[in-house]
């Protein structure tokens, strides 16, 4: 009985700590989102934004203090950009944390199994054939389809060895598919050199052209896939002890890993389709969460990674559109600026937090 009592107190303390971290992450996201709405060439006051939002809430009866131009800037330019940044950042961070848990690899990221190469190739094809009459609206679906196709090819190649249940074969297959598709994309770029600038704009990523249509397009994929990964969080914790031990505890490792890979890939492909290739978020954010909380379990890391990933990308977007204003930096450059030094931290601490 004393042991059970101590275990109960430990679980309660762990849950309280988890709730506190989640509350802190929500507050951080709210603060960064407000900064994303405020920062820009046209000055909008916090009171103006609050009253404008409140004026659209039924039965509140608050009059907006923004004029028509200010309301247009808020709802048509800044708000969709902030919401899209939150969705993309949450998707990439959650996918990265899920891949790392599924493969027990601290350096796994959302582009591990060829998503980036497939999405880049799909986007390149649309950009090249746009001159021949292909509509530009095909770019997001082509990037999405390319990312999914690349991962399914990698998964099929990695599982082609009979009886091979090792995650190493999946990673090697992803590297193989990435190299091959990148070579094809490079050949197409050199063949159609006039599209280089547009292709590289997609590769470096950005939220500047995002609108409510993009938000509505990716929202169902991100919500459904994100919920699947959060439901799998407890079972991902069991994988930390190893595949054989997890099987002995009743977890069907191969099926769980397949579900996690598919859900994380859908998340990544949806994010890439509307924002281009934005790197490092899937590594920076999950490891930052582990360093802060000293936790490695999915029940803590996955939801915190989603919230912090949303805040991180919104913050990077604010830097991207203000650092060289009125010019705008590709957001991938900003995330790489933070991500490259962070690898040193990962290499020094990965053994301590895994």
pLDDT value of position 241: 75
CATH number for 14-353 (one of 2.20.25.570, 1.10.3470.10, 3.40.50.300, 3.10.20.30): it is 1.10.3470.10
Would you tell me the crossing angle of helices 331-353 and 196-204 to the nearest 10 degrees?
40
Q: Which of 30-44, 182-196, 302-316 has the highest mean pLDDT?
A: 302-316
Nearest to 99 by CA among 229, 222, 253: 229
Predicted TM-score (pTM) of the model is: 0.88
pLDDT value of position 224: 95
pLDDT value of position 3: 45
Mean pLDDT of 98-118: 85
Q: Which of 39-43, 166-170, 183-187, 239-243 has the highest mean pLDDT?
A: 183-187
Whether residue 14 is predicted with pLDDT greater than 70 in this model: the reply is no
Whether residue 16 is predicted with pLDDT greater than 70 in this model: the reply is yes
**What mean pLDDT value characterizes the chain?**
84
Instruction: Indicate the range of 219-223, 246-250, 314-318 predicted with least confidence.
Output: 246-250
Question: CA quadruple 345, 350, 352, 354: dihedral positive or negative?
Answer: positive
pLDDT in tens, 63-100: 788 888 888 889 998 999 999 999 999 999 999 999 98
Instruction: Indicate the range of 115-129, 196-210, 300-314, 337-351 predicted with least confidence.
Output: 337-351
Nearest to 152 by CA among 256, 257, 261: 261
Whether residue 190 is predicted with pLDDT greater than 90 in this model: the reply is no
Whether residue 112 is predicted with pLDDT greater than 60 in this model: the reply is yes
pLDDT value of position 8: 46
pLDDT in tens, 319-343: 998 888 788 888 989 998 888 787 7
């Amino acid at each position: 009985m004393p042991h059970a009592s101590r275990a109960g107190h430990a679980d309660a303390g762990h849950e309280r700590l988890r709730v506190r971290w989640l509350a802190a992450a929500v507050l951080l996201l709210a603060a960064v989102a407000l900064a994303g709405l405020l920062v820009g060439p046209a000055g909008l006051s916090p009171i103006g934004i609050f009253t404008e939002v409140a004026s659209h809430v039924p039965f509140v009866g608050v009059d907006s203090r923004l004029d028509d131009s200010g309301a247009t800037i808020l709802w048509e330019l800044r708000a969709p950009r902030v919401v899209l940044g939150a969705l993309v950042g949450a998707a990439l961070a959650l996918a990265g944390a899920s891949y790392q848990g599924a493969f027990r690899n601290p350096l796994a990221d959302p582009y591990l199994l060829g998503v980036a190469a497939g999405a880049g190739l799909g986007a390149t094809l649309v950009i090249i054939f746009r001159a021949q009459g292909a509509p530009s609206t095909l770019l997001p679906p082509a990037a999405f389809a390319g990312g999914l196709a690349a991962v399914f090819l990698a998964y099929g190649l990695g599982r082609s060895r009979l009886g091979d249940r090792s995650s190493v074969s999946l990673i090697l297959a992803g590297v193989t598919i990435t190299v091959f598709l990148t070579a094809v994309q490079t050949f197409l770029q050199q063949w159609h050199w006039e599209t280089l600038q547009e292709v590289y704009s997609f590769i470096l990523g950005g939220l500047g052209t995002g609108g409510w249509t993009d938000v509505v397009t990716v929202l169902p994929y991100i919500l459904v896939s994100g919920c699947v990964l959060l439901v799998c969080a407890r079972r991902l914790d069991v994988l930390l002890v190893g595949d054989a031990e997890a099987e002995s505890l009743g977890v069907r490792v191969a099926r769980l890993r397949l579900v996690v890979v598919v859900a994380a890939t859908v998340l990544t492909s949806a994010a890439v389709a509307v924002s281009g290739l934005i790197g490092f978020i899937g590594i920076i954010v999950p490891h930052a969460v582990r360093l802060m909380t000293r936790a490695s379990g999915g029940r803590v890391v996955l939801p915190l990674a989603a919230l912090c990933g949303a805040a991180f990308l919104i913050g990077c977007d604010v830097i991207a559109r203000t650092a060289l204003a009125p010019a705008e930096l590709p957001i991938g450059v900003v995330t790489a600026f933070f991500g490259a030094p962070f690898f040193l931290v990962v290499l020094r601490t990965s053994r301590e937090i895994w």
